[in-house]
Amino acid sequence: APASSNNFIKTIVTEDLKSGKVKEVVTRFPPEPNGYLHIGHAKSICLNFEIADEFGGRTHLRFDDTNPAKEDTEFVESIKEDVAWLGFEWERLTFASDFFGEMYDRAVLLIRKGLAYVDDQSADQIRESRGTLTEPGKESPYRGRSVEENLDLFARMRAGEFANGEKVLRAKIDMASPNINLRDPVIYRISHAHHHNTGDAWCIYPMYAFAHPLEDAIEGVTHSICTLEFADQRPLYDWVVRECEMDCTPHQYEFGRLNLTNTVMSKRKLKLLVDEKVVDGWDDPRMPTISGLRRKGFTPEAIRDFCREIGVVKTNNSVVDDKMLEHFIREDLKLKAPRTMAVLQPLKVIITNYPEGQIEQLEAENNSENEAMGSRQIPFSREIYIERDDFMEEPVKGYHRLYPGNEVRLKHAYFIKCENFVKDADGSVIELHCTYDPETKSGSGFTGRKVKGTIHWIEATQARPAEFRLYEPLILEEEGEESESFLDNINPKSLEKLQGFVENNMKDAKAQDKFQFFRHGYFNVDPKETTGEKLVFNRIVSLKSSFDA
């Protein structure tokens, strides 16, 4: 894999290896299996895997499954698929829940050391008593419980003697600390819930802030990379590793989250879109999920290049123009995707001076920027389809395509001239009558006269029906304006379906094959909706870029 761009985490890793602080870099990607991965996760995946790759280290894929109520094996499977699809191989696959036994033992150790106690206060009471930035916290009336009493109560919590919320285990640190995270954080809670991995073995579950540093230490992670909102938790992370007397000392480093313009990125909101059936599942091409991007037609290369380009900063959460992601898929497909023709909104054209019943084969190059892709044969006959908006009965100023009396070039074929048109009872144009000039055949070197417009077309008798799906942003507001009413801002034009035709050459096109359709952009064969009868194409991106890299 190509080297990642430089960033502050690489600098730290380089120094740690040089000084001998670590022998081998070990990173982890730790998703919670409560949804599908999105493009923001891709940034974290690339960062973790590429750093380890580059320094000959290893990366673990770890499911942070300490919250049984929201987690599901469907999400576990999709996450594995997406990480692998992005092109990364994990050295170990672990579940936080694999370590519940050891975490419990470490909590008991804290109790023995007088560093943890069982609190009977309610969640609200605890939250209130922890104070604010300007006001110190108040100690719990249960803070002074003896080690013996705490050991007994914690064992009974585990045994299932208490209901949800009746008791918690708290670390005993400092209720006056300027860092609220250190004001006796809750480290275990009761939850009588079925867990996707451990079933009903446990009814107490460790909190993230306690579990995460232990998971890292148990697995021998050296550099635990997370997003900025965890910066305030770093002192607690270090406290847990130290006081639990772990053999390995991982360190936490924070970087800025990725946000994209016009894109909802929180898993909670994405889940709402799925549950409310605003979209057709987590892999709807309008979703910023890895599976949605894949189905739309994005490639792993484009996503990885994008993640490298946006870089890694420690100071702020970046908001990146979504056009930039599009730039990278254009770059990736430019020389790879065959360039063929598709008519999205067909209008029939009769070429009146072309012999009836005759079909000729014309040569068409497959990629004008990549000769190695060769060429193909396309049929031409008396009846073709062109794009509806390539004809205007009364042309506006500057319109160089077909109108009565005007001549255009048909890509890979001949010049045709519009002689006449037919309207239906409603007054819409349903057919054009044109003539062609045999002298003007593409590749013949004809220089007799010039035309200003070149349009695409499909021979009518062999045209293959196809559906084209064009996308616009799903949400009309920009991400960042955290609005709870985002469901009211769904873009009614986020999906447009058009029925048209592609070349007969497409008969062997398979799910996920990608093409550049002349003038229309890059398209992907939809893996879910395509049938033997009809190909369905998702537009990945149009041709024109308004983003300058």
Q: Which of 10, 167, 170, 267 is catalytic?
A: 267
32 is in an annotated binding site: yes
Secondary element (H or E) of residue 524: strand 521-525
Is there a catalytic annotation at residue 267?
Answer: yes
- Residue 435: beta bridge partners? 417
Question: Interface residues for ligand ATP in 85-144 (CB under 6 A)?
Answer: none
43 is in an annotated binding site: yes
In the list ligand ATP, Mg ion, none, the entry touching 545 (Cβ below 5 to 8 angstroms by class) is none
267 is in an annotated binding site: yes
* Under rule CB under 6 A, residue 40 binds ligand ATP: yes
CA 451 to chain centre: 44
Q: What whole-number distance in Å separates Cα of residue 462 and Cα of residue 481?
A: 50
Buried/exposed 202-240: b ≥16 CB within 10 Å, e otherwise: bbbbbbbbbbbbbbbbbbbbbbbbbeeebeebbebbebb
Is there a catalytic annotation at residue 70?
Answer: no
271 is in an annotated binding site: no
Q: What whole-number distance in Å separates Cα of residue 203 and Cα of residue 167?
A: 12
What values do phi and psi take at 320, rounded to 5? -105, 140
Is the Cβ–Cβ distance between 537 and 512 less than 8 Å? no
Secondary element (H or E) of residue 296: helix 290-296
208 is in an annotated binding site: yes
Is there a catalytic annotation at residue 32?
Answer: yes
Q: What whole-number distance in Å separates Cα of residue 73 and Cα of residue 332?
A: 33
439 is in an annotated binding site: no
Nearest to 261 by CA among 320, 306, 312: 320
CA 356 to chain centre: 51
Which residue number has the CB closest to ligand ATP? Answer: 40
Is the Cβ–Cβ distance between 196 and 66 less than 8 Å? no
In the list ligand ATP, Mg ion, none, the entry touching 153 (Cβ below 5 to 8 angstroms by class) is none
Question: Interface residues for ligand ATP in 223-252 (CB under 6 A)?
Answer: 226-227
* Under rule CB under 6 A, residue 257 binds ligand ATP: yes
* Under rule CB under 6 A, residue 265 binds ligand ATP: yes
Those residues whose C-beta lies under 8 Å from the C-beta of residue 532, and which sit 6 or more positions away, are none
441 is in an annotated binding site: no
Q: How many residues contact Mg ion, by CB under 5 A?
A: 1
Q: What whole-number distance in Å separates Cα of residue 219 and Cα of residue 211?
A: 12
Cα dihedral sign, 289-295-300-305: negative
> Smaller CB distance to Mg ion: residue 206 or 500?
206
Closest distance to Mg ion from the beta carbon of 284 (Å): 20
138 is in an annotated binding site: no
Closest distance to ligand ATP from the beta carbon of 9 (Å): 13
Closest distance to ligand ATP from the beta carbon of 279 (Å): 16
In the list Mg ion, ligand ATP, none, the entry touching 257 (Cβ below 5 to 8 angstroms by class) is ligand ATP
* Under rule CB under 6 A, residue 267 binds ligand ATP: yes
Q: Which of 32, 331, 360, 383 is catalytic?
A: 32
Q: What whole-number distance in Å separates Cα of residue 327 and Cα of residue 345?
A: 26
Q: Which of 70, 80, 138, 257 is catalytic?
A: 257
Closest distance to ligand ATP from the beta carbon of 30 (Å): 5
CA atoms within 13 Å, Cβ hemisphere of 227: 16
In the list ligand ATP, Mg ion, none, the entry touching 174 (Cβ below 5 to 8 angstroms by class) is none
> Smaller CB distance to Mg ion: residue 138 or 257?
257
Q: Are strands 251-255 and 359-365 parallel, antiparallel or unpaired?
A: unpaired
Piece of the chain touching ligand ATP by CB under 6 A; list 26-34, 155-163, 212-220, 280-288: 26-34
Q: Exactly one of 13, 25, 31, 303 binds ligand ATP (CB under 6 A); which one?
A: 31
Q: What whole-number distance in Å separates Cα of residue 468 and Cα of residue 447?
A: 36
Closest distance to ligand ATP from the beta carbon of 301 (Å): 19
Question: Interface residues for ligand ATP in 141-180 (CB under 6 A)?
Answer: none
Which residues are annotated as part of the binding site for ATP? 32-34, 38-44, 227, 257-258, 265-267
Binding site for Mg ion (CB under 5 A): 32
Which residues are marked as active site? 32, 257, 267
Binding site for ligand ATP (CB under 6 A): 30-32, 40-41, 43-44, 226-227, 257-258, 265-267
